Structure 1
């Protein structure tokens, strides 16, 4: 049996999974089932105790790329394999989201918005793509696609990761010691890092201060990676000109949080890259078959690394 939990599109996922895996009985929460019969779970942030009695669980498939919440659970046997989605339509969506932010900064759209409120008609100069230096933190499946795509559009792109990754047109910065140098050459910093022990609090005030004056940040990685108070201070001082934020330390963002009303902030409710049903189900079904055949599924999480 395959047991499904997702806050959105439950019926769509159940139908698609049953069609893709006709040999499996696909049931979904909150329907009561015999937990010992559940071999596979497909989930996105299931409720507490969800896995408690699933003693025959062979794999958990996460409907997203981030697995930090699953790894913290106390109701899941730590020996059960966790499999994340490696794309499922998210890479292209993330590119679109980041490109929107890049163009907002590059083409001076924030300033034009301010001019509109004052009814000012004034053309502003804008740097070319080649003059716009973009730094991408995280060069996995999604970050690598974003970095390569921006480079192909003519932007001056550099990428940072802990192990390094050679990508066409992307300057490679490797390891913690190289992070300040990556920040110092970034007019626009794009954070797409996974949530790990090492990345939590990575972009604190000291690290963000390495960004050049007038730089901007786009955060679609994880909220806990950026010190929100330090970010607000750098925006207030004018050191940073703009922040586009999709993720926050506490979600939903509290209604009294100053980020809501800051004139240099554009925020969105964790929608930069949404999981699409069809490609997600196709990937999960292929991985179920791989596991049945004794193979290693694509997207198998290394618990020590956190992704």
Structure 2
């Protein structure tokens, strides 16, 4: 069994060593052009040349939850793409989103600004009943986020393309339910996969349906958001602010207005990072299962895009 590792913007050596230790009977190496065919590939944003050369692959294992970059390549028909189910990312995402929601709800930005200027200030406590939070996308990450928000007694709504059930969460499904979902929420958290159907879904029309003084948290993909529409809604006062962790161009260009807008919090795509050891253990387990002819979780439907 031969495994090849092809990771853009990452050093492959720790992955090679970890996979070799987890699967001692395998031959594991970092991909170089001209390498012999492999059975399995562990990848992040590989070049098209890798796909064209590795014609005997039984599956591609993506080292992140999002597979949109892979699905933009010309993949051979029938090649399985397998994403990470969790591997330590869901708890990170829950931490990040809960921090962003609570920071805005409790007006900590305002207190911080006051203390910098030596002011001892007071703000009237807000009622959680007036701050329903909506989570777009109820996959592994979205479900964990919705459940975490319920711990803090926020009313939580969830929206997904197909019906889901999450205890304590009001679930909406399908295009027909999107408007009702949006108008029920003051805070919107985006955790949708990026597909042709969801690109630009965070626009003037959808964000304008949030309750007045709405707040956006985008932790999925930058291409979900129409940047100018967000800025217009912030400047009009319909949206009170946003926390953004993902952007159309990364790193975010130095002259982008998001950097300096007073109602925006910007972080460098750090909401949920891949944890290498956990990911290697999961990928190795899935390779072993597929070798035995067993099904595995996380196989991507190329039609749906996730």
TM-score interval (norm. to shorter): over 0.9
Whole-angstrom distance in 2 between the partners of 1:46 and 1:55 = 14
Indicate the larger mover: 107-116 or 209-218: 107-116
User: What is the TM-score normalised by the length of structure 1?
Assistant: 0.94
Instruction: Report deviation, 1:251.
Output: 1.9
Aligned counterparts, 1:47-126, within 5 A: 47-74=47-74, 76-126=75-125
Instruction: Report deviation, 1:295.
Output: 2.1
Please give the secondary structure, in 2, of the residue aligned with 1:119: coil
- Runs of 4+ aligned residues of structure 1 deviating over 6 Å after TM superposition are none
Whole-angstrom distance in 2 between the partners of 1:230 and 1:271 = 24
Whole-angstrom distance in 2 between the partners of 1:242 and 1:116 = 20
1:177-201 CA distance string (max 9 Å, x none) = 2222222221211000001111111
Instruction: Report deviation, 1:61.
Output: 0.2
Note if 1:5 corresponds to 2:6: yes
Please give the secondary structure, in 1, of the residue aligned with 2:123: coil
Instruction: Report deviation, 1:100.
Output: 1.1
Instruction: Note if contact 1:152-1:169 (Cα within 8 Å) is conserved in structure 2.
Output: no
Over the aligned positions, Cα root-mean-square deviation in angstroms equals: 1.5
Aligned counterparts, 1:231-250, within 5 A: 231-250=230-249
Aligned counterparts, 1:1-307, within 5 A: 1-6=2-7, 7-29=9-31, 31=32, 34-36=35-37, 38-74=38-74, 76-307=75-306
Instruction: Note if contact 1:61-1:82 (Cα within 8 Å) is conserved in structure 2.
Output: yes
Whole-angstrom distance in 1 between the partners of 2:148 and 2:187 = 15
1:87-120 CA distance string (max 9 Å, x none) = 0100000000101101111110122233234433
Instruction: Note if contact 2:93-2:145 (Cα within 8 Å) is conserved in structure 1.
Output: yes
Segments of 5+ residues of structure 2 without an aligned counterpart are none
Instruction: Note if contact 1:287-1:297 (Cα within 8 Å) is conserved in structure 2.
Output: yes
Whole-angstrom distance in 2 between the partners of 1:172 and 1:128 = 22
1:20-73 CA distance string (max 9 Å, x none) = 1111111013x456332x111101112341221112111100001100110111
Please give the secondary structure, in 2, of the residue aligned with 1:217: strand
Indicate the larger mover: 112-121 or 236-245: 112-121
Instruction: Report deviation, 1:139.
Output: 0.3
Whole-angstrom distance in 2 between the partners of 1:11 and 1:295 = 29
Distance of aligned partners of 1:32 and 1:225 in 2 relative to their CA distance in 1, 3 Å threshold: closer
Whole-angstrom distance in 1 between the partners of 2:225 and 2:125 = 28
Instruction: Report deviation, 1:277.
Output: 1.1
Instruction: Report deviation, 1:206.
Output: 1.0
Please give the secondary structure, in 2, of the residue aligned with 1:50: helix
